[in-house]
Structure 1
């Protein structure tokens, strides 16, 4: 299958240290980059096809990522060593510090992926797997396969089928293809009470009661994409909506049980300022913090 990938992208503060090395294969393109980004550097990427990104060094403390335009700090999460980005899912990145890195991009035609996965999974589960993003930090086996693929991209020494088989192994190693896992049917799954108790305990340990979705998923031992799905089925809210409601509940307790000012409560709970807390409080509780405190004191 002749395939030329297309991706909309823009970067600021990121530069390649050498020309990209790439190789087109059957229904896919592999591209290897050496690059560096400065503190404050940003990137935006959107592809009509699925893609895989594998980093050859740990970037989690230097690069953050989000799939939400205009995301605030709470919506950003650390970049993982290996990620799968489904077709049409946007990605924004931001550097917190200067960092040099190398990574392999694998752009895949959707039909090529389906052709590879369907014989083993069936069409329904293959399509389901293609729609679920994956982000993993412990990617040693995948990184080994990616290193072999980079060698074939840089200096081809074997038939293209060898490089294509490496891509196939990377795909099956990265995508969540566990046939026995309920993750393939998130609509029917729920968090257990033990998982909810664990999550509540971890959130309560934070001084401002704030966690990213990735951190919440990690706390209960689930992938971020599946956690977000089953969490809403369990609670009726997205993880961030639930967390925000919890923080407003804590604010109500502080308003009722202490003499702290609204500004002090806002600072303690991680809101940007008093106005931010007031706006959010009104949306959740139906009144401003000051009005709510007066009503409670009048009871």
Structure 2
């Protein structure tokens, strides 16, 4: 990405996560009154303001009106689309940037291909904010970082942002309940997870949990688990020479045909074709 900033000072180093589909960075910056920034990314980009601002900030694209806010917001900027940031007064900003490869995200339920070509500036969506907060916390982890768990959150955040406005009206899980649920699914995705386990973990009934999880993530619990299994399969396919049958069983699938169907549905390619494309 190219950036020209005036009156914007980066504070410290960003926490980051390199995903199979893109790059996540969490930045902190201090903006002077009248600060400006001009940005162009070669890849589609999500720009998510994670906490309220002390001064109004505006974003303006190549066409259309600008959008302004002092609150938490999310913006989607297509590849090659220039965007200008202006700040009316002095403020600190904490934001998450996600640059992703649209060809690698695979089919996303409820998202049309045209979505990645249409800019949306400073929209408000609590589901997007929840995914961003979980991803920020994952990036801040010490040691090996978020790993495959971070990859799953990247896909979930992209799906939430591109399908924003399509969620239902049911009450979602709290941040704490969502974190508990996602951590549990990620840690146990290679075995059968009963809905009862997740409901008991969050203190909810099975029916309520299932609806609340989907309201928070846009994805049913079972589909989230399948996505986590696909991520583990991708990791094995890219790192070694294990057979497809070995990968299928290690990732928790009942057999290779089931693995192939789920993997192709999630990525648009069979496991063999996906592995061959990365050699």
Say yes or no: does 1:172 pair with 2:166.
Answer: no
- The answer for the alignment partner of 2:68 in structure 1 is 78
Cα distance in structure 1, aligned partners of 2:66 and 2:123:
16
Q: CA deviation at 1:136?
A: 4.8
Q: 1:140 to 1:60 in 2, by over 3 A?
A: farther
Q: 1:41 to 1:178 in 2, by over 3 A?
A: closer
Where in structure 1 do 4 or more consecutive aligned residues deviate above 4 Å?
A: 156-159
The alignment covers a number of residue pairs equal to 164
Say yes or no: does 1:109 pair with 2:101.
Answer: yes
Say yes or no: does 1:138 pair with 2:130.
Answer: no
What runs of 5+ residues in structure 2 fail to find an aligned partner? Answer: 167-279
Contact 1:63–1:96 under 8 Å retained in 2: yes
- The answer for the alignment partner of 2:79 in structure 1 is 87
- The answer for the alignment partner of 2:12 in structure 1 is 18
* Per-residue deviation, residues 15-66 of structure 1 (Å, max 9, x unmatched): 1121111121102100011111011110010011101011112349521111
* Per-residue deviation, residues 61-83 of structure 1 (Å, max 9, x unmatched): 521111139x9xxx433056111
- The answer for the alignment partner of 1:97 in structure 2 is 89
Cα distance in structure 1, aligned partners of 2:54 and 2:99:
22
Q: 1:46 to 1:112 in 2, by over 3 A?
A: same
TM-score by length of 2: 0.53
* Within-5 A mapping of 1:1-299: 7-59=1-53, 61-68=55-62, 75-79=65-69, 81-113=73-105, 115-117=106-108, 120=109, 126-155=112-141, 160-176=147-163
Cα distance in structure 2, aligned partners of 1:42 and 1:160:
34
- Compare 162-171 and 131-140 and name the one that shifted more: 131-140
Q: 1:50 to 1:159 in 2, by over 3 A?
A: same
Q: CA deviation at 1:109?
A: 1.1
TM-score by length of 1: 0.49
Contact 1:129–1:177 under 8 Å retained in 2: no
- Superposed CA RMSD: 2.7
Cα distance in structure 1, aligned partners of 2:149 and 2:87:
35
Q: 1:159 to 1:103 in 2, by over 3 A?
A: closer
Q: 1:77 to 1:126 in 2, by over 3 A?
A: closer
Contact 1:86–1:131 under 8 Å retained in 2: yes
Cα distance in structure 2, aligned partners of 1:96 and 1:50:
27
Cα distance in structure 1, aligned partners of 2:27 and 2:95:
6
Contact 1:116–1:168 under 8 Å retained in 2: no
- Compare 135-144 and 167-176 and name the one that shifted more: 135-144
Name the SS of the counterpart of 1:41 in structure 2.
strand
Q: 1:89 to 1:59 in 2, by over 3 A?
A: farther
- The answer for the alignment partner of 1:285 in structure 2 is none
- The answer for the alignment partner of 1:286 in structure 2 is none
Q: CA deviation at 1:99?
A: 0.6
Q: 1:137 to 1:61 in 2, by over 3 A?
A: farther
